[in-house]
């Protein structure tokens, strides 16, 4: 069953995703299969005791959880995990729109990747409020010489290149604490990835992103939201309520222990009270010989419905404030651990008036003969959407890096063509000198800011 690392690395780079959630820490190890799907080689899980609402609150406990999950994933995949792609979320995440402009000096050459990189670099230099730093700069659409609506400007001619950017920022302390936890676990961070962006890779299709869709990732501590339209991310938000808020409501409303409240939610919970019968009763064992407690399934559903309606109303407010409410043909896709609640799509449709479905990450997974069947089946759950999404994002990045290094190696090795020498007159010599002078001028100054 074991596969050596050398055999695996020939076909595709091995990548590791690290999802530091409020309820669980999850490590996924995988690569791209020959058919373009994601092949999971190993998975490790640990309880997340040091994270509150997506933010690290206890570094030591978080490090213990990461090391436990890494050890499990490493043993299962037979891969020595050293570099990870880390998900980031939390109430501190904010987003804003900004416009960048670049006036090009080199008019003879078409727009290149370096021009776009220069625009992106300029966005990272934006002055942020104290204590905040930029995590992602996402280009939305470009304008070339006042011609708007261009999605990919590479290869086009133009002097003035403009772009709209979606910028995502977070608290410096929250980002540093995550990086410190990863570093203390003897790991290296390849990239920090916003969790709703990762989840969108694993549960949304390109057609949905083009048509207009809202991704709602209901985690333990937070609910993450991302709006896509015409294939471009338009809006992101983090709502500070999640599955744990529902559990706390059950604990208080039904006067039970927290672990009992969690079991009631996952086994008998429903987001619509009217879908349950009046005479259904659950018997909860009493503490240390006390009388067992009887709880009505319908009353339990009323408690859950009240909190879920509040979360969905927050989501709906973000949809309306984004300005894309009327453009969401594909509706809402719900994922994350909280998406497993019964009758949730019906409640979402009732509150927002938009179509809703549950997002499963299984369409990106390759048939797996390495993992035991029960673990492979578990991976198809919405609660692994972020972990698998981090893996997809990491693989995409690794493939781009590998492709660029291959191109540069090929360019370095490619022999130059030797032309037949020509007889050069005085006029030709003057032209060559003039051309050399212009080229040197262009090399000295590529851009006019």
Residue 199 · residue 386 · CB < 8 Å: yes
- Is 74 contained in some domain? yes
Q: What is the pLDDT of residue 172?
A: 94
| 445 part of a folded domain | no
pLDDT at position 385 over 90: yes
With a cut of 50, say whether residue 131 has pLDDT above it: yes
pLDDT, tens only, 57-95: 999 999 999 999 999 999 998 999 999 999 998 888 999
Domain of residue 155 covers 94-171
Q: Specify if 178 maps to a domain.
A: no
CATH number of 294's domain: 3.30.420.40
Residues 113, 161 within the same domain: yes
The per-residue pLDDT of the chain, averaged, comes to 86
- The CATH code of the domain that includes 139 is 3.30.1490.110
Please tell me whether the overall predicted TM-score, pTM, comes out greater than 0.85 for this model. Answer: no
Q: How far apart are CA 257 and CA 24, in angstroms?
A: 20
Q: Are strands 51-52 and 55-56 parallel, antiparallel or unpaired?
A: antiparallel
User: Is a pLDDT exceeding 50 seen at residue 4?
Assistant: no
Q: pLDDT tens digits, residue range 229-285?
A: 999 999 999 999 999 999 999 999 988 999 999 999 999 999 999 888 888 899 888
Tell whether 130 is covered by a domain. yes
Contacts of residue 407, defined as CB under 8 A and 6 or more positions apart, other chains included, come to none
Least confident of 9-13, 160-164, 383-387, 394-398: 9-13
Q: Are 8 and 41 in contact (CB under 8 A)?
A: yes
pLDDT at residue 413 tops 80: no
pLDDT digits (tens, 9 = 90+) for 92-110: 899 999 999 999 887 778 8
In-domain check, residue 348? no
Whether residue 101 is contained in a domain is answered as yes
| Two structure tokens written together for 433 | 């000198």
Q: Are residues 78 and 107 in the same domain?
A: no
Q: Looking at the 3D structure of the chain, how many domains does it have?
A: 3
The residue among 256, 282, 304 that closes a domain is 304
Q: What percentage of the chain reaches a pLDDT higher than 70?
A: 88
């Amino acid at each position: 069953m074991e596969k050596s690392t050398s055999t695996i690395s020939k076909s595709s780079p091995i990548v590791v995703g690290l999802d530091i959630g409020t309820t669980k820490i999850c490590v996924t190890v995988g690569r791209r299969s020959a058919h373009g799907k994601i092949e999971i080689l190993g998975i490790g899980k640990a309880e997340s005791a040091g994270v509150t609402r997506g933010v690290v609150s206890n570094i030591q406990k978080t490090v213990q959880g990461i090391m436990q999950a890494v050890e499990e994933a490493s043993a299962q995949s037979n891969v020595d995990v050293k570099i990870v792609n880390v998900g980031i979320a939390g109430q501190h995440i904010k987003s804003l729109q900004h416009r960048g402009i670049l006036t090009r000096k080199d008019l003879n050459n078409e727009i290149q990747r370096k021009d776009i990189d220069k625009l992106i670099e300029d966005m990272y230099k934006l002055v942020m409020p104290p204590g905040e730093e930029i995590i992602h700069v996402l280009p939305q659409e470009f304008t070339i010489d006042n011609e708007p609506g261009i999605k990919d400007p590479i290869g086009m001619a133009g002097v003035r290149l403009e772009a709209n950017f979606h910028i995502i920022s977070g608290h410096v302390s929250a980002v540093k604490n995550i990086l410190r936890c990863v570093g203390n676990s003897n790991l290296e961070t390849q990239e920090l990835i916003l969790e709703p962006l990762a989840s969108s890779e694993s549960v949304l299709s390109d057609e949905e992103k083009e048509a207009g869709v809202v991704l709602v990732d209901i985690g333990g501590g937070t609910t993450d939201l991302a709006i896509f339209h015409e294939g471009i991310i338009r809006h992101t938000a983090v709502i500070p309520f999640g599955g744990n808020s529902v559990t706390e409501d059950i604990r208080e409303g039904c006067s039970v222990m927290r672990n009992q409240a969690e079991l009631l939610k996952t086994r008998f919970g429903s987001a619509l009270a009217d879908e349950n019968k009046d005479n259904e009763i659950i018997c909860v064992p009493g503490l240390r010989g006390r009388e067992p407690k009887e709880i009505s399934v319908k009353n339990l559903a009323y408690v859950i419905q009240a909190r879920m309606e509040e979360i969905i109303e927050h989501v709906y407010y973000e949809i309306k404030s984004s300005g894309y409410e009327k453009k969401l043909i594909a509706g809402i896709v719900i994922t994350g651990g909280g998406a497993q609640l019964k009758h949730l799509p019906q409640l979402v449709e009732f509150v927002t008036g938009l179509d809703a479905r549950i997002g499963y990450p299984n369409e990106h997974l390759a048939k797996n003969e390495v993992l035991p069947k029960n673990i492979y089946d578990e991976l198809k759950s919405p609660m692994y959407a972020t972990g698998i999404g981090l893996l997809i994002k990491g693989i995409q990045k690794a493939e781009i890096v590998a492709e660029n290094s291959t191109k540069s190696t090929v360019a370095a090795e490619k022999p130059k063509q030797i032309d037949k020498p020509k007889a050069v007159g005085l006029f030709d010599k003057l032209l060559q000198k003039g051309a050399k002078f212009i080229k040197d001028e262009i090399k000295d100054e590529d851009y006019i800011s």
